[in-house]
Amino acid sequence: MARIALVSGGVSGIGAATAKLLKASGYTVITNFFGNDNEAEAFTHETAIPIRKWNVADFDETQNGIAAVCAEFGPIDTLINNAGITRDSMLHKMSYEQWRSVIDVDLGGCFNMCRAVIEGMRERRFGRIVNISSVNGLSGQFGQTNYSAAKAGIIGFTKALALEGAARGITVNAIAPGYTNTGMVSAVPAKVLEGIVAGVPVGRLATPQEIARGVLFLVDEGSAFITGATLSINGGKYMA
């Protein structure tokens, strides 16, 4: 039977590319979204991948959303925590809301989603979790104390959960993408982005598909010995 994969933030950018690649590779894929209804409908129209709406930053909504997905499609074996937002600002201008919202969605969402699937994975003695971190969680980034903290937090979370899942057939890994051609990156002021791309040895942004390839590799059953790892896919921008 096909493995069941849930991708958060899965109707655009890296999430959408991942959902499509998993589907093309034989997974039953469900994507979660919270933002733009029109974009989500267009995605499901194009791909026939079912979409379910909830806010990953909300604990109860996430538990209920995942329970409904499991009741409809079956237990989730494969979880991709991709949902994330940016609220860039230098710290001396950052509001509490800018700090809190990024921590709640990017890091809190990871907890809320994993918490909802982990007991089932432990019982079934199989699971694949991939958490999307960022190069900026490794290197830090000017204007992103909130985002860099959340994305670095994801790496610690990944390692701790990898230890807890190892004896139960559950692998937990992170991917740290570099600057990727997505809506999130195109919101960076053009002049700033030009400077960032100039610092990427490969000389360009990643495509979302290039990040999705890493996810597919990590969730494969043959990747059972890879756990607690952080896979950098950043065109050489930062070599940790």
Whose Cβ is closer to ligand CAA: residue 70's or residue 188's?
188
Q: What angle do CA 193, 199, 200 make, to 5 degrees?
A: 95
Is 27 a residue of the active site?
no
CA pair distance 147, 128, nearest whole angstrom: 24
CB of residue 135 vs ligand CAA: minimum separation in angstroms?
Answer: 6
CA pair distance 229, 232, nearest whole angstrom: 10
Whose Cβ is closer to ligand CAA: residue 143's or residue 214's?
143
Q: Which of residues 42, 142, 164, 199 is near ligand CAA by CB under 6 A? A: 142
Residue 109 as a binder of ligand CAA (CB under 6 A): the answer is no
Q: Which of residues 98, 134, 145, 232 is near ligand CAA by CB under 6 A? A: 134
Q: How far, in whole angstroms, is CA 174 from its chain's centroid?
A: 8
Count of chain residues binding ligand CAA (CB under 6 A): 20
Give which of 115, 43, 88 is closest to 31, Cα–Cα.
Answer: 43
Q: Tell me, what amino acid is at 214?
A: G
Residue 90 as a binder of ligand CAA (CB under 6 A): the answer is yes
Specify whether the CB–CB gap between 10 and 182 falls below 8 A.
no
Residue 79 burial by Cβ neighbours in a 10 Å radius (0-12, 13-18, 19+): buried
CB of residue 234 vs ligand CAA: minimum separation in angstroms?
Answer: 8
Q: Residue numbers of the site for ligand CAA (CB under 6 A)?
A: 86, 88-90, 93, 134-136, 141-144, 147, 179, 184-185, 188-189, 192, 196
